[in-house]
Amino acid sequence: MNRRTLRRAAVFGAVALAVATFTGVSTAGAAPTPQVVSKALGTAATAQSDAAYWTPARMKAAKPYPMPAVSKLSHPTTKQLTATGKPAAITGYSSTGQISSGQVPTATSVSAPAPAAFGYPAPYTRFPVYPASLMNSFPWVVNGKVFFVQNGGNYVCSGTAVVAPSRERVWTAGHCTSDGAGHWDTKASFVPAYNNGSAPYGVWNVTNVYTSSDWFNSGDFSRDLGSMKVHADSLGRTLASRVGVAGFAWNQPYDQEWTDIAYPAASPFNGLIPWEIHSATATTVNVGSGPAATGIGSDFTGGSSGGSWRILAGGSGVGYINGHNDFKFSSQPLSMYSPYFDSLANTVRCTGEATGSYGC
C-alpha cells in the first residue's frame, strides 16, 4: 500500500506516521530576533498569587477562546510548498528521560506526495483520550489547558509542554498569548493533564509570553505562533521533570500525517477531557505574509486553539510538534488550519531561552 493510498484510508497507526527518518547531528539554533515579541507577566514573587487566581471554579467557568474564523476561503496556495530553511527537529522526552542537549535530529530522507490530496471535507478520525489513566501517562500527560485573562475576560485554550533549555516551556497559538491587536494576556497558567476540573500536576504560572510581531501587531494568521514560559513549582521542580515534553520540528515538508490532541470546549464538546484526532494534510492556503497555512480534517471547536499537531507520534511516542489548532474558515467547519512551522516558529520557541542547546 503506497502512502497516498494509506492517506485516503484516513485511519493509520504509528507505523504510518513515519514520514521522515531522523538522524542526530549538532547544529546551531535560531537566536532571538525582532520578529518575535514578548511580555513578562509575572515574577517568582507573583507566581503563587497568579496561579491561585485559577481556582477550580474559575477554570470551569472560563470561556473557550472563540476559534478564529476567516470569512472567505482564499484560493489554494500558489506559493512554492518547500521549506525555506534546513529541516530540523529536537527530540522530546518523558519526565524521567534524558537526551543530549547538543543533539538535534534533522530530517534527511523524506518521500512525500504533493499536497492537496483531499477535497472538503477531508477524512479524519476523532476519539476521546480514554481511559482517563492515559492522561497521566506519557506521552498524553504533556498536553494540557492554558487559562488566561484577555481584555478582561477569562478564557481557555490548549497547550503542550515542549522541549526547551529551561525545561519550563509551553507551546500554544499566538492568539492564546495576545489578541493580535497589540494587547497581551494577563494571569496566564498552564494545567497539564487537566481532567474534569482536576489539576493532578498542579497549576503552572506563566511568567512570560511570546509571539511573532506579525501576529501581535496585525493579527497575521500565517504567523499566529505562541509559546509561554512557566515558573518552577513550590518544590523547585520544572515542568519537564513533572510531565516530560514533546519534541519540536520546523522546516518540514507540508504533506504529513498528524496526531492532534486538544481540549475543545465549545459545543458539542465541554473541555473536561482531551480529545485526539488523526488526519493528514488536506490543503494549503494563503492567509497572510508568511508561508501558506496547512489544513487538516477536524471538527474541533473553541478551546482547542493551541493544541499541538504532532508528527511521528503514535503508541508510546510523543512525536514532534509541527503545527497547532489555529483557525477555520466559516465555510469549512470540518477543517482546521495551522501556520506553517518555519524557522520563525523555532525562534518563538527559543526566545528567552539559553542558546546553543536543544535547537536554540
Q: Is residue 106 part of a domain?
A: yes
pLDDT in tens, 270-320: 999 999 999 998 888 888 999 999 999 999 999 999 999 999 887 678 999
Q: Is residue 360 part of a domain?
A: no
Q: What is the rounded CA–CA span in Å between residue 360 and residue 356?
A: 6
pLDDT in tens, 147-170: 999 999 999 999 999 999 999 999
Residues 6+ apart with CB under 8 A from 122: 279, 280, 282, 283, 295, 296, 297, 334, 335
pLDDT at 74: 58
The domain in which residue 222 lies consists of: 3-350
Contact status, residue 219 vs residue 206, Cβ threshold 8 Å: no
Burial tier of 161 (Cβ tally within 10 Å: 0-12, 13-18, 19+): buried
Q: What is the pTM of this model?
A: 0.87
Q: Is residue 49 part of a domain?
A: yes
Q: What phi, psi does 185 have (nearest 5°)? A: -70, 165
CATH number, residue 53: 2.40.10.120
Question: If you average pLDDT over residues 70-98, what whole number do you get?
Answer: 74
Contact status, residue 241 vs residue 262, Cβ threshold 8 Å: no
The β-bridge relationship of strands 169-173 and 153-162 is: antiparallel
Cα atoms in the 13 Å half-sphere on the side-chain side of 244: 25
Instruction: Report CA 283 to chain centroid distance, whole Å.
Output: 19
Q: Is residue 191 part of a domain?
A: yes
Q: What is the rounded CA–CA span in Å between residue 267 and residue 3?
A: 34
pLDDT at 83: 66
Q: What phi, psi does 7 have (nearest 5°)? A: -65, -40
The β-bridge relationship of strands 143-150 and 169-173 is: unpaired
pLDDT at 42: 74
- Structural domains in the chain (count): 1
Residues linked to residue 294 through DSSP beta bridges, in sequence order: 284, 338
CA angle 112, 22, 276 (to 5 degrees): 70
Question: If you average pLDDT over residues 311-336, what whole number do you get?
Answer: 90
Q: What percentage of the chain reaches a pLDDT higher than 90?
A: 64
pLDDT in tens, 224-283: 999 999 998 888 999 999 999 999 999 998 888 999 999 999 999 999 999 999 999 888
Q: Is residue 309 part of a domain?
A: yes
Q: Is residue 89 part of a domain?
A: yes
pLDDT at 49: 74
Q: Is residue 186 part of a domain?
A: yes
pLDDT at 223: 97
Q: What phi, psi does 208 have (nearest 5°)? A: -145, 145
Q: Is residue 267 part of a domain?
A: yes
